[in-house]
Amino acid sequence: MARRFVAGLLRQQGHEVEEAADGEAALRSARERRPQLIVLEMVMPGRDGGEVLEALKGDAATRRIPVLVLSVRSREEDIVRGLELGAEDYITKPFHTQELLLRVRKILARTA
């Protein structure tokens, strides 16, 4: 549901959004479609976000795609871990919609 909401939010702003149901699908989709930005939740069944992030940064094809982590894991250690693994930015849930959109815009502008 969170995924659907965030996807809807981004689409409202005019972005083209593709959704992935879990870690495996996300990696596949990232390799095939080369998006300009990936919004990632750390807590997922199967391969968790941390593993996905590591895989993304370890693969030459996807290394340069910026990743914005949007996660319920909000402890200091979690945020540090996310950023260390290569995330461009880390937003914790619950979040402000406007803040999310702003950060997305900034990342896209920076990496355009």
Q: Which residues bind another protein (CB under 8 A)?
A: 1-2, 4-5, 8-9, 12, 43, 45-46, 48, 51, 72-75, 93-98
DSSP string, 5-28: HHHHHHHHTT------SSHHHHHH
d(CA 13, CA 42) in angstroms, rounded, equals 24
Closer Cβ to another protein, 25 or 43, answer by number: 43
Closer Cβ to another protein, 98 or 112, answer by number: 98
Closer Cβ to another protein, 65 or 82, answer by number: 82
Listed residue (24, 31, 19) closest to 49, CA to CA: 24
Find the shortest distance in angstroms from Cβ 23 to another protein. Answer: 11
Tell me the backbone φ, ψ of residue 40, rounded to 5 degrees. -125, 135
Closer Cβ to another protein, 34 or 99, answer by number: 99
Which class for 23: exposed (0-12), middle (13-18), buried (19 or more C-beta within 10 A)?
A: buried
Find the shortest distance in angstroms from Cβ 3 to another protein. Answer: 11
Find the shortest distance in angstroms from Cβ 2 to another protein. Answer: 6
